[in-house]
Copies of this chain bind each other. A is one copy, B any other.
Amino acid sequence: MVAEVTFSPIAYIQSCYPERFGIPRQAGLVASAYADIVFEATEENKLALRGIEEFSHVWVIFVFHGQSYGDFKPLVRPPRLGGNKSVGVYATRSPNRPNAIGMSAVKLFGVIEKKRTLRLQVQGGDFLDGTPVIDIKPYVPYADAIESAQAAWAVEQSSLLSVSWSDEAEAVLIDCVEPGAKKLRCLIEETLAQDPRPGYERGKDGREGQRWHMQVSNYSVFWTVEKGVAKVIKLAWVER
């Protein structure tokens, strides 16, 4: 019996989400969410990644970070349940768990070498920028894709909000170059459609004048919620 186990990160994630607020609550909800899994371009890493491009999807096993550790409580209130009902932490994917391990299946686009790094380019993740990665595994459908699985309350939810844009925000979008206006629009719309507000606010219209803020890629996004529509009122480029 081992008392504890120690792992060293094998890579780090560069993601379009520099802050926790706004990150989708599971992988796969925001298909446009892009990230690079960044390895050092050592000979060993090159060999260890050989053949991974033959898989369309990979599992990323990571360490939740950007949170205070040791604040684990056995019960959590999932946003999906409106933030009112308590369930055990092992019945959720909450980041506040005894061992802060996350796992997400993402689409793999390819592996590129760039400035002494090897980068797995993935989409559909729910990663905070800077996340340490402790393992990568191929997604093996015959073992992992259990279509018949029943998931209690954690069932698929279509978009919660539709998204509109102010003229001011539209104008910034049109000027933007990175990652491209069309991609950025998609990414922001898909992210806001999930309604990133806290559980107790979801499904409600926003209070008048209440402005929300999140960072997506190199942009600050400000929005309001009214009658089931998230309206992007302002978009501003920020240095990261």
Contact call A138/B10, Cβ cutoff below 8 A: no
How many identical chains are in the complex?
2
Q: How far is the CA of A112 from the CA of B105 in the complex (A)?
A: 31
Q: How many residues of A contact B (CB 8 A)?
A: 77
Chain A, residues 41-62, CB within 8 Å of chain B (1/0): the string is: 0001111111110111111010
Per the 8 Å Cβ criterion, residues 109-136 of A in contact with B are 130, 132, 134-136
Stretch of A145-153, A162-170, A203-211, A213-221 on the interface side: A145-153
Which of B5, B44, B61, B130 contacts A6, CB < 8 Å? B5
Contact call B153/A54, Cβ cutoff below 8 A: yes
Stretch of A81-89, A184-192, A226-234 on the interface side: A81-89
Contact call A103/B103, Cβ cutoff below 8 A: yes
Q: Known A10-B98, A65-B2, A134-B5; judge A91-B51 contact (CB<8 A).
A: yes
Q: How far is the CA of A54 from the CA of B134 in the complex (A)?
A: 29
Chain B residue with Cβ nearest A106: B146
Contact call A146/B65, Cβ cutoff below 8 A: no
Q: Which residues of A contact B (CB under 8 A)?
A: 1-10, 12, 26-29, 44-52, 54-59, 61, 63, 65, 74-75, 86-93, 97-101, 103-105, 130, 132, 134-157
Other 5 A-B pairs with CB < 8 A, given A61-B103, A141-B156, A144-B144:
A2-B63, A7-B101, A47-B74, A50-B74, A51-B91
Q: List 5 A-B contacts (CB under 8 A).
A: A6-B6, A50-B74, A54-B153, A99-B135, A139-B151
